[in-house]
Structure 1
Amino acid sequence: MRPARALIDLQALRHNYQLARSASGSKALAVVKADAYGHGALPCAQALAAEADGFAVACIEEALELRYGAIAKPILLLEGFFEAAELELIDQHELWCVVHSLWQVEAIERARLRRPLTVWLKLDSGMHRVGLSPADYQAAYRRLQACGQVGKIVLMSHFARADELDCPRTAEQLALFNAAREGLAGEISLRNSPAILGWPQVVSAEPASDWVRPGIMLYGATPFGEPQALAAQLQPVMTLESKIISVRELTAGEPVGYAGNFVTERPSRVGVVAMGYADGYPRHAPTGTPVSIDGQSGRLIGRVSMDMLCVDLTDLPAAGLGSRVELWGKQVLASEVAARAQTIPYQLFCNLRRVPRVYCGR
């Protein structure tokens, strides 16, 4: 069997969820959209089911996977519904729903539901992706309140630049949100992972009644480009690993891999690892990207191939055929690999494919 695999530490997942709740003082929706950022939505939800206040997914297909997997906790559809016909399934499975457009308000007004909906009314406070405009926000709230189809309304928005700790945009968005919701009753949800970790000032008068939405921090990766005290307490959940399947002894001046963009400067030992961009490892990770080989620091050399990549074994004489290689995880942080490949940990995790996931810490 090919040795590439992703180890998923469910105890680390629970630790990170508890950190989000304790740091925020609020209720927390565990964000498990996009297959839990590549970690497996249902196993992750099952691991958190006893303690999570609820879950958040992108769409109804993701929500139904959890419901069919016996997840009974509240599930929020972060993108709401895409057509009015979905309201029947939302009603049937008791899902919570983001409303971000006036056509959705109109669809709810026309619907005939068996039970009142829980709606999360989203304001566009400056992200300019989805959300009601400040001019429409109060009227939409009052229409939903009056239509008889809605039992509870949570007031929400989304920060565009909370991962930039010195950026004034987050404070500007918060001020706009507070102005738009003036006079409206309801719980509040503003904080995603970077806001939970880096913006403690983003709280309401009653934070314990509000909701946070931890996403990337659940999986143990920092959303920041620089060190941050609370993010340093996160525990990596995924360890991507494989083994060395071949060792080459090369003289100085020999090219390694496609395009020969790495050339040995001295007599070298090169290890070939069963891992490539078809598994989700970033093709553009350059020479020097860190790896761990049998627990020792190592580096990637040459261009990443579809199924294989090469590492430098020259200074690791004990390493060889069968040596374990960690591509990211507890010894090599995904954020370090992402920075070298000029991407973000979110993409590394979500791009994972073909590699079997092995769960521990149940």
Structure 2
Amino acid sequence: MRRAARARIDLNALRHNLSVARAAAPGSRVMAVIKADAYGHGMREAARALAGLSDAFAVSCVQEAAVLREAGITQPLVVLQGFKDDAELVEVVRLDAQTVLHEPGQLACLESSHLETPPAVWLKLDTGMHRLGFAPVEAAALVQRLRTGDLVAGHPGLMTHLACADEPARPESETQLRAFDEAVAGLPGEQSIANSAAVLRMPAAHRDWVRPGIMLYGASPLIGVSAESMGLRPVMTVGAPVVAVKPLRPGDAVGYGGTYVCERPRTLAIVAIGYGDGYPRHAPSGTPVLVRGHRCPLMGRVSMDMLGVDVTDVPDVRVGDMATLWGEGLPVDEIAEVAGTISYELLCSVGGRLQAEYVES
């Protein structure tokens, strides 16, 4: 069931943001990260919008790759978590996708397979994230093992992931780059390191392929740096209608638990969106909402289907007016910071009951 709340997706803004990534890393090819339903923006629609602009797409799992192939996407696909068993390995080959290898079980599965067509693979090294990947010291032996018996197509790609690139002043990224370079010295194969933050601030990490993700959707990958200052445009604007307007008196409490109590007469607007739609329940009173172009503070707790906004200083607010929760005119990064989370979570959380409206601005 869809509600009146909607997510407006600006596909031209998405294309623009990819052009920012290209301009920042002009010597690299672009692997646009569209996993997790393109961070809540719609994976099929994002892939179609970027099909002529991105050199490849990165997805999380084999199932996402299948969705894109069924949608007619012919770009190279890289499955970042790789395959989990023999059946998924066969599916990777059927889909003509590239798979990441990051743990010994995958390697054993590949060696015991009897595939007519070997897959193209990326070898992931754990240089400091301590999440997925082989130890860097194993790199040379692993590449040799993969090339023996023609288990893979061509030379394995070599990749790693940066843990602290969103804070360029921290030393960990340089440490990871050194560990990677020492591990792959003299090895053939294309390289990929840079996420969005490194695309914008770490030229040494650009290599053959960059992997922009959050920046494509118009949010900042860098702590304390606005998306706008980096030339990024918001892709998703979340809006919902005002469904009630009412006066409040001093002493009136708003919402569950009565956590917001009016100190003087106020005008309350109820907006038809809540945590059931992906708006963060933990957003505190004072979180900004745009109503008629004015920044208005949230009042009280966010409910499942609605939230309250103080529109005392906005003239002529009426039922049916659309409020903006984030997006054009109200950066998602700002809402995330006030709510104690990150833009990634907010963007990925909307959906389900929200209507998606795709536009070409």
User: Normalising TM by the smaller chain, what interval?
Assistant: over 0.9
1:103-139 CA distance string (max 9 Å, x none): 2222222222232321111000010001001222211
How many residue pairs were aligned? Answer: 357
Matching residue within 129, 139, 142 for 2:141:
139
* CA displacement at 1:58 relative to structure 2: 0.5
Matching residue within 104, 107, 110 for 2:106:
104
* CA displacement at 1:331 relative to structure 2: 0.8
Residue type of the alignment partner of 2:249: T
* CA displacement at 1:21 relative to structure 2: 1.6
Match of 2:306 in 1: 308
Matches within 5 A, 1:175-254: 175-203=178-206, 207=207, 210-227=208-225, 232-254=230-252
Q: How many Å separate the matches in 2 of 1:186 and 1:240?
A: 42
Q: How many Å separate the matches in 1 of 2:72 and 2:205?
A: 34
Does 1:39 pair with 2:41? Answer: yes
Aligned partners of 1:53 and 1:74 also within 8 Å: yes
Residue type of the alignment partner of 1:17: L
Q: How many Å separate the matches in 1 of 2:4 and 2:106?
A: 48
What's the secondary structure of 2:286's corresponding residue? coil
Residue type of the alignment partner of 2:132: V
My pick for the range that moved more, 55-64 or 350-359, is 350-359
* CA displacement at 1:92 relative to structure 2: 1.1
Match of 1:168 in 2: 171
- Segments of structure 2 that go 5 or more residues without pairing to the other structure are none
The alignment's C-alpha RMSD in Å is 1.5
Residue type of the alignment partner of 2:183: A
- Large movers: runs of 4+ above 6 Å: none
- Aligned in 2, Cα 1:230/1:175: closer, same or farther, shift over 3 Å? farther
Residue type of the alignment partner of 1:191: A
Q: How many Å separate the matches in 2 of 1:332 and 1:312?
A: 16
Matching residue within 330, 336, 342 for 2:340:
342
Q: How many Å separate the matches in 1 of 2:265 and 2:223?
A: 36
Q: How many Å separate the matches in 1 of 2:110 and 2:149?
A: 8
Residue type of the alignment partner of 1:168: P
Residue type of the alignment partner of 2:188: A
TM-score (structure 2 length as normaliser):
0.96
- Aligned in 2, Cα 1:242/1:228: closer, same or farther, shift over 3 Å? closer
Residue type of the alignment partner of 1:215: G
Match of 2:359 in 1: 360
Matches within 5 A, 1:1-20: 2-20=3-21
1:77-101 CA distance string (max 9 Å, x none): 0001111221111111100000111
Q: How many Å separate the matches in 2 of 1:33 and 1:291?
A: 28
* CA displacement at 1:230 relative to structure 2: 8.0
- Segments of structure 1 that go 5 or more residues without pairing to the other structure are none
My pick for the range that moved more, 218-227 or 273-282, is 218-227
Match of 1:289 in 2: 287
Aligned partners of 2:218 and 2:227 also within 8 Å: no
Residue type of the alignment partner of 1:161: C
Residue type of the alignment partner of 1:163: D
Q: How many Å separate the matches in 2 of 1:31 and 1:332?
A: 24
Match of 1:89 in 2: 91
Matches within 5 A, 1:152-167: 152=154, 153-167=156-170
1:289-332 CA distance string (max 9 Å, x none): 11111112212111100000000110012222222100000111
What's the secondary structure of 1:35's corresponding residue? helix
Match of 2:258 in 1: 260
1:23-78 CA distance string (max 9 Å, x none): 11211111111111111100110111111101011101110000000001111000
* CA displacement at 1:6 relative to structure 2: 0.3
What's the secondary structure of 2:234's corresponding residue? coil
TM-score (structure 1 length as normaliser):
0.95
